[in-house]
Amino acid sequence: MSPALLLNNGHIHSNEHRPDGFATNAIHVGSEPSQETGAVMPSIALSTTFKQDAVGVHKGYEYSRSGNPNRDAFEKAVASLESGKYGIAFASGSATTATVVQSLGPGAHVVAVNDVYGGTFRYLTRVASETQGLEVSFVDLETSSDEAILSSIRPNTKLVWIESPTNPTLRVIDVPDIIRLVHSHPSHPLVLVDNTFLSPFYSSPLLLGADIVMHSVTKYINGHSDVVMGVLVLPQRHVRLAERLRYLQNASGAIPSPFDCWLALRGVKTLPLRMKQHGLNALRIANRLLDSPYVEEVIYPGLIDASRHAIALASLSPHAAKFIDTLPADVVAHGVPYGGMVSFRIKGGEGAAEKFLTKTRLFTLAESLGGVESLAELPALMTHGSIPKEEREKIGITDDLIRLSIGCEEVEDLIDDIDQALAAAVAQSTSLVDDLTVKKAHAAAIVHHINGVHPLHA
């Protein structure tokens, strides 16, 4: 064997080997075999405290709130997938949001995309505004001019909060362009990208210049609807910010349990496999919805005719672009996989939307997203119900908008389920409307007859 080859963790490679790929990192980072037993999967370290050989002399752990082997392993794994240096895990996505905002200090100003997740909107406007005097401006980061975006930044602006695609209208933000603008401003705000909808597989915001990446781990990263968690990932250049966030993580104690971290690390290992299937299924379903006579509009940035399709393509991570390049021409004839979320507007309004959600067999009516099972919900009355109706409608969250989280089932089965639910919902809704119209007309005729306007006809 050449001396230029080394054996490391069972993998033979040269001294100057290329970096491991996304799937390899997902499986191996944070899951090095145990030095004690050789176990290939980390054990669950449930202990709340750890033995010290002398005062302050220990194996890296003192108390589980401050540090835990399972949390460390998960944080390390996610940081590698986001091409970052520091991963910091929290008990929920909401706790993650709260910690970031707390780190800004009192009297700060935040610019947030106007189509921000309802829970983020609630925390910014109802909690942080009262507890730390936070000011927030919601800006259309998709269509606003450079001048309008720059003018929204104040001397005390500490953070710009981006989601792309947004939840649930799937508006695509030109993330590199926003980062360029924000970083050019004298206030030097940080740019955070909530990457929950695309996952580290389809998007790599740190490679685009973002300062912080956030995930609700509950969704795609865990992927099995059995863990509530959140995580932040930061690049090497933000070591001091990472230290501050780590301090707040420990001080507030909003940490995930060792078991949740163990489950989420297991979920990470199948993330690339799941995201490919989510994307392929979503693309097929979006194309099917386009052909449905019961649908007013389909929103999926991966579709070729989507208004921001070119920007969506440009935002793809290197590993997602590589995956798409391998797909047959017939698969990408009308678009490309771009995550697993599809939204659409159903004909017949709120009544038809609610009926659709009770007629599906495989799509479970439930909040959340990103699991292997398919889910469906009505954002206006569920996930975004905390946003005032007038504000919801301004950003397109109307009562006829349905959000689908496309799972990993056989896509033909999912299509059949959507087809039958649409037919039942819209046909029944139309029938009810027609029946109501007849009843109203008949009632009007009775009134006219009583008033002697014209004779009543059966």
Residues known to be catalytic = 65, 117, 194, 219
3 state SS for 148-186: HHHHCCCCCEEEEEEECCCCCCCCCCCHHHHHHHHHHCC
The span from the CA of 98 to the CA of 96, in Å, is: 5
The structure tokens 């795609």 sit at: 220
- Given a contact cutoff of 8 angstroms between Cβ atoms, the answer to whether 118 and 387 are in contact is yes
Give the CA diameter of the chain.
107
Q: Measuring CA to CA, which residue among 190, 185, 189, 214 is closest to residue 200?
A: 214
* CA distances to 99, 141, 189, 208, 307 from 148, in Å: 28, 9, 16, 22, 21
Q: What Rg value do the Cα atoms of the chain yield, rounded?
A: 25
CA atoms within 13 A on the CB side of 25: 19
Look-up of token digits 């097929």: 284
Q: Please name the helix (run of DSSP H) or strand (run of DSSP E) that holds residue 442, with its range, or none.
A: helix 411-450
Cα 28 from Cα 73, distance rounded (Å): 10
For the chain, give percent helix, strand, coil, nearest 5.
Answer: 40, 15, 45
- The C-alpha atoms of residue 20 and residue 26 are separated, in whole angstroms, by 10
Find out whether the peptide bond into 176 is cis, omega within 30 degrees of 0.
no
Q: Give yes or no for a cis peptide into 168 (omega within 30° of 0).
A: yes
Do 206 and 317 contact (CB within 8 A), yes or no?
A: no
Name, in order, each residue with C-beta under 8 angstroms of 421's C-beta and a sequence gap of 6 or more. Answer: 356, 359, 360, 361, 363
Cβ atoms of residues 242 and 88 within 8 Å:
yes
Structure tokens given for 26: 């997902």
**3 state SS of 405:** strand
8-state DSSP, 375: E
